Structure 1
Amino acid sequence: MKRLLVLLMALSLLFSACAFAELENGEDDSNPVPIEADDGDDSDPQPVDMMEDEELEVQEEILQGRVLQFGDEGDDVLALQTRLKDLKYYTGNLSGRYREGTRKAVETFQADFELDQTGIADLRTLSILFSLTHRPLRYGSSGEDVKELQKQLTELGYYKGKISGNYLEATRKAVENLQKKNNLEVNGVADADLQDMIADGRILSKSDKPDDTNTPAPNLSNYLVDDNENGVAVADVAFEKKLKSGSSGKLVKTMQERLTELGYYEGPISGNFQKYTTRAVKAVQTQNGLESTGVVDEETWNVIFNDARIVMPGATPKPTPEPTPVPFHIVVDVANQVTSVYGRDENGEYTVPVRQMLCSTGMKATPSDVGDWVLNGRHSTWCIFPKWGNSYARYWTRINGSIAFHSPIYTAVSNSAMKISSYKKLGQRASHGCIRLAVWDAKWIYDNVGAGTVVSIVEGMDPDPELRDALKLPPLDTKYCTPISTPVPTAEPEYSLDNVPQLGNRQLKENSQGEDVYWLQKTLKDLGYYDTKVTGKMLKKTVKAVKAFQQDHGLRANGGVNQELMDLIAETARNAKNPQETPAPIATPEP
């Protein structure tokens, strides 16, 4: 029993490693393993690439993790083999035993990432392995991910060969041409960063005109000195991309060299963005009046490289700017399985609907955590649920220590590996507590909603069939897991209070639809009887609003609408909009 507990703790710590490895608490919809022991919760998945702002908090815990090597056995070895197999490095049995095949796979992986080829899965190797979204593809690679790359290169105009899944000379040449066009290092290798850039649309196609945004960084020895400022050497280095904990490569190395010269950094010039680099970046941001995130965005980059007025360590720091108000409030309506994002109105209240999405909350036996939760900004492009068949999800945004927003379930780290049944269940309870969303909705949350946002998970709201009907999801292309077609939104009908629809013999009732229903809903909404989406389709909530109006006006509350009622609704709305002035009382003459 004691040995089992030790193994479970080792596995927990192992899956805490990412980019020297950060972890996050979130919940697989299949009840995943614990991640951070201090939460005391056993339902947290591990994001594949982790948030930079928690690295310092988990560093001590990570250093106690287990290094895996030849002869080891256990669930952590099984997880290692599964991850290597997902990335096409390992082809053997998933045995949980670290033998020669596993050692060779680790060695090949280390060679790909310029690590010491020891065949030992140390913490650095594990952190990179579990942070990847793609394996590097090069001459001789083969598989579905090569096919996907060839399709993308074809769409961008660089590749005209057969979609074979084999990375041969034509594919290598296409990648080289793409790298030349985009001012990237030309080596013919589609590494994880390049594949992410292609998937995110950050690559120029062959027919696009290049701009100045991808100018390669000049040599740092070519400093300019501004004698009119504080004498700090200014490096004329253009910003290329955001850097954060877990990033690696030449840009990180360049930044570490610059931070060392400025006196902010004393760590190794390794090209790996880890604990001490994060600390140095936060120090620069604090000294220079920026938000201390540890992430090098364009503003931070320009302070480090291109600002002769940079405040040096030990000097009086610039004042921190006033924080901007949190732009959104999110409400998860469990009864209707709808997640709504609200923006601020002119009074600063969160009343303006920004986006509404069908979702899947926790099942009855495993409900979502009802209450108000404040996001801390931790998110990940992928998360893994290792104890449950290594299922995955995309665009993971932490809600609390147990649950998160994320996409439907995937069977592998691949855009085309979505579990279609998980997508089809959106709009009904289906998870073990997390809030599942369509991929594009989960990505919107990931891209737009940051730390400080309040998420309210609410039970018991009134049924809203009109809203649910308006949020129907498109069918998927099951091969690529993308919508078969993106319908062009139907233009809303022109609305005028004075242009009352003429029904004739038509009577509006439940399931009626058309521009007359749109006019009815819009007018009832202005009068305060109807409080949901104006859809042009009359379902139960519209009928309920009609009945309420009828009751208030002494009419039989049957929920049906004829021309006489339409005219009365129009007259009531006009009177409410332009109330008649009460005449001044006539003075009574004195006796």
Structure 2
Amino acid sequence: MQRQRVIIRTIGVATAVALAATACGPQKTEPAGSAAAVSSSPTAGSSPEASPSTDNKPGEASASPSASSSASASASASPSASASPSVKQLMANGDENEQVRELQARLRQLKLMSVAPTGFYGSKTTAAVKSFQSKNGLNGTGGVDEATWKKIQGASKKPTADELRPSTVNEVDAPDPRCMQGRVMCISKESRTLAWMIDGKVVSTMDVRFGSENTPTREGVFNVGWKAKEWTSTLYHTPMPYAMFFSGGQAVHFSADFAARGYNGASHGCVNVRDKGKLSALFDQVQVGDKVVVYW
């Protein structure tokens, strides 16, 4: 059946086709790694497990009972010899891995986070960890050392698969300052939401998902270059209804795969929306030239 493509754009057909050559489709699996794949997202790889840190306070290392000769030698030692080692962090701001996802699910159980787990350790996770630390007599660093992790594990239960990757609607993140003026699709990677905003006011919101580590969704400030109510990726041959292209072949579009599989999948760089009705209404409102902000 011949597919009718309706394209709303301000550029010529040849340019539109050239841009669409990088259009993305859903990824069934996330490949292990590609030499050509370069991630622009501020992620840190999976952090190695840190060894248990001591609870010694400064000076305690030389305070243990010993022979008089040893005590004398300790007394004459340089101050650095008695200083305790720095506390090693298991997880901290900027990390992205499955342990962070578990941390976020546990913090959600404790009512310290309202957004769904993303696996990325950002500002909301840092604030939630600080809150937990202050309530439990721990050093409020916002990072997770072994003492903090053990306390969180003791106060919560092992998350279920649904808790780690819920299909419920996500809470909208605080808008990036760059979203506060004009007509903007304000897209948060941390809360996995898109907020359609006009002059600083949220008009509508919807859940979104992004590309994998190997095919990341670009971050920054963009503009809608052209729109296509019906479009099919020329690279991946998958439908991209209600596509609004903002960075080369990357677009905001409806994804049937996202609607069916949720966050168990990923795009090839596009911003997938799973609520077709909401996106249809948004598509009618967004104009070519409107701003798009993608941020953590």
TM-score, structure 2 as length reference: 0.39
Bigger share in helix: 1
Structure having the higher Rg = 1
Bigger share in strand: 2
